[in-house]
Structures are given as C-alpha cells and as structure tokens.
Amino acid sequence: MKHPLKFPLILLALLNLAHSALAQRALPAWLARADAPADTAGLGRVLARPDFYRLQISLVRVRRDAQGRPHLARPLTYRLQPKEYFYPASTVKLAGAVLALEKLERLQRTTPALTADSPMRTDTAFQKQTPAWVDSSADNRHASLGHYIHKMLIVSDNDAYNRLYEFVGPEELNAGLHRLGLRRARLTHRLSVGDGEPGWRHTNPIRFFADTAGRQLVHAQPAAYWAAPRPAPNVEPTSMLLGTAYIGGQDQRIDKPLDLSDKNVFSLLDLQQLLRAVVLPETVPPARRPQLSPAGYERLRLSLSQLPPQSRSPRYDSLHYPGTYCKFLFGGGGTARLPAGVRVFNKIGQAYGFLIDNAYVVDAAHGIEFLLAAVVYVNADGVLNDDKYDYDKVGFPFLRDLGLRVYEAELRRAVPKLRK
C-alpha cells in the first residue's frame, strides 16, 4: 500500500535517507551535520519500513508577522493514519491537566479560597481505589492539584494523572475533549493500575482545605459514577488488536493479539491540536480554546518546557532524571542534550511498544518555531507485555534524529517575518 507524501521539503529528504543508507550514498546536505557525520541508524531503519513501524508524523511551521502574531502554515504530514490505532500512553496527561485546571477555575468563581495549592485529600469509595492524603515529593508533603499537574507534565508521573482523572471524572473529561474539537479522542481509564470495568466509571471522594492540618474545609467533591456507554473509539477496530501474542496473568504467554479496544484513544492530529491550543491559543478558534486564565496557561507552559534539573519541587536527581528525560525528540529520552537555545514544550508517551512525542519547538534567537508530533511502534517480536520493546535500539534514536534533522532544516531556511 502506498502512502501519499505531503512533506515535500523535509520528509522527502528523510525518505531519500532510507534509500541512501541502504545504498551507502551520501546524506542530503541539509541532514548532514556540519561538524560531524550524522548518526542516521534510527532514521534509516524506520523510514525504510514505515508501515511496519506504524510511523506517523505531522509538522506545522510557525511564522511571526511584524507585530509578533503567529501564523501557522498548512500541516506537512507523512503517513498520517487517523483510523490506525496507537496507544497514546502518557500523552493524554496534557488533556488531564488542561481539563483539571478548567474545572478548578470554574470552582474558584464560587469558592475563591480554593487554589491550585490548596491541600488535597483523596479518599476511597469503591474497590481498588486508593487514598492520597500526602505527597512525599512535595516540599511541604501536601498533595495539591498544582503539584500533581507539575510532576505529571515534567516527568510524566502516572499517579498524578490518576488523581486528576478522579478530580475531573470520565464524564467531564470526555465532554471536554468534544468541546475542544478533539473528535478522535477519549479518556476511559486511569494509568498503570489495571483500571477496567467498572472501576474506571467510579471516581473517588475528594476534599480541599485552607490549612495544612485539614481542619478548614474549602470544597468537598463526593464520589461519582458515570453510567453512559464507553465513547466509541473512532478508529479501525482491527487496528486495536496488537501483536501476535502477549504475556497475561501469572506470566502466561497467550498466542493471540492483545485487545486494546477498551483503552484511551487519541489521534496524532488531535494531540497536536491540543498542544497548539495551550501554547498558541490565539491561533485556535475561541470555542476550541481551553477556558483558562493567563496564569493557568502559564502554569501549563512552564511545566511542559521545564527540564527535571530545573524543578524546585519536586527535586529530581540527574541520575534517574537527566535533563532530556521526557524529551524524545532531540533528547532521545535522556541520551542527548537539546541544541543550544532550543526550548521544547512537549508531552511524550511510552507503552506497549509505542513511542510518541508531541512538541512545540522554539529557538527565539533564530526565529524558529514549529509543532512536531510523531509516533513510532517498535516491537519487533510482536509480543506485548514482555518488556522486550526496541525503545533504546530503534525508537529513541529515530525520534532524537527526527527532531534534530527537522530543526537543522529549519535553521538553514531563511524565513523572513511576514508583513501586513
């Protein structure tokens, strides 16, 4: 099956790279680094077999006019397959953060004492739910919405996302996705806790306090249950059957595809659209923008762009959380540094053999801005849940080099500012 290429200036060269690597020909000039030969193993391997790796890429260039207003070019895409499922993993956490802040700001209209830093206590009301009264990663050891959002975005903390899921609830989460125009997205489970039927429908009771001792109640949210049918996935059903086998309970191998039909769903373009609405809301129709205050937007942008060593609370050690720990594009998941002067606002995902990065890249000194989102599936043996995915050998090198090559191509392009 042939896939129409809509990426004339950048991905055409990347595709040529796959054939060049196989034929041992020289790299295209814009892909070769001036100071050293480029490491193209990841690029060449994946681009030679895009269907096998379920590769999808979307690039949107941003230009500023004389008044500094952003203008977005038409998306340049390669092998975009909205109906082909990929597990979105932790990329959904940006949606959780946006919708949690929206709900918080709505509550503040009638309860101004409630803030993102209000001590938060999560209780239980249904089987397998877990409580959370403290957060040992916070300097003051108190859980709060603001702290959950920060560590969820900066190091992709799963428990933090689950607490936001419980605060917003599946009904409001999915209604919010629809309101934002994200038609190929749904959120129907917590992360990494085996959240199946009917647990995902039940959310915990939560209380917020004005004091750290928990004596001055500010807001109480009761436990809730969503009885509506699970939203349709809006993808090809057969694409939600992954692999040839998987490891089930008691480490038993089951020789049939793993069925992910009850999992979260997000298309690559919807992920990119959501990030765009956070970092460049003026480019999105008002009805599809998050209903947030300037402070709410700034909170999200700070956590999306901050590196673990820059975080004051929590504090992260560089051994376990290197600077580019959650920067797959450019950083390769912690294996390389960002180019000098480059700032990346992004959310990554990693699970079931899928690697995704959804990023907004800015180099202010050179006037470079672009949105770049990519997903790649690296599971050569076809077995799920065996922890033998090809992240380090194939996935991370590919995303690292993809980000770098796109950036270098943009760096070489002389793009004058638009005029009125």
Predicted pLDDT at 39: 46
Q: Which residues of the chain have pLDDT under 50?
A: 1-5, 15, 17-39
The reply to whether 358 falls in a domain is yes
Query: What pLDDT digit, counting tens, does each position of 381-400 carry?
Result: 999 999 999 999 999 999 99
Place of tokens 């903390």: 157
User: SS3 for 169?
Assistant: coil
Strand ranges for 230-387 from DSSP E: 241-242, 245-247, 253-254, 258-259, 265-266, 343-351, 354-363, 368-377, 383-384
Domain around 61: 11-412
Q: What pLDDT, on a 0 to 100 scale, did the predictor assign at position 47?
A: 85
Backbone angles phi, psi at 277, to 5 degrees: -65, -25
Alpha carbon separation from 227 to 129, 177, 238 (Å, rounded): 18, 18, 26
CATH number at residue 326: 3.40.710.10
The pLDDT of residue 14: 56
CB 258 within 8 A of CB 384: yes
Q: For residue 30, what pLDDT is reported? A: 36
CB atoms under 10 Å from CB of 234, counted, come to 15
pLDDT score recorded for residue 95: 98
- What was the pLDDT predicted at 200? 98
Instruction: Answer yes or no: is 299 within a domain.
Output: yes
For the chain, the domain total comes to 1
In a domain, 4, yes or no: no
Residues recorded for the chain: 420
Would you say residue 72 lies in a domain? yes
Q: Is residue 343 part of a domain?
A: yes
Q: Could you give the angle at the alpha carbon of 47 between the alpha carbons of 41 and 50, nearest 5°?
A: 135
Q: What is the pLDDT at residue 36?
A: 36
- Residue 2 inside a domain? The answer is no
Q: Is 124:204 a contact under the CB 8 Å cutoff?
A: yes
Percentage of the chain lying above the pLDDT 70 cut:
88
User: What pLDDT score was predicted for residue 32?
Assistant: 39
Task: Please state, in angstroms and rounded to a whole number, the distance separating the CA atoms of residues 372 and 358.
Answer: 6
Answer for the pair 205, 223: CB distance below 8 angstroms, yes or no. Answer: yes
What's the pLDDT at 48? 83
pLDDT of residue 21: 39
Gap between the Cα atoms of 309 and 314, Å rounded: 10
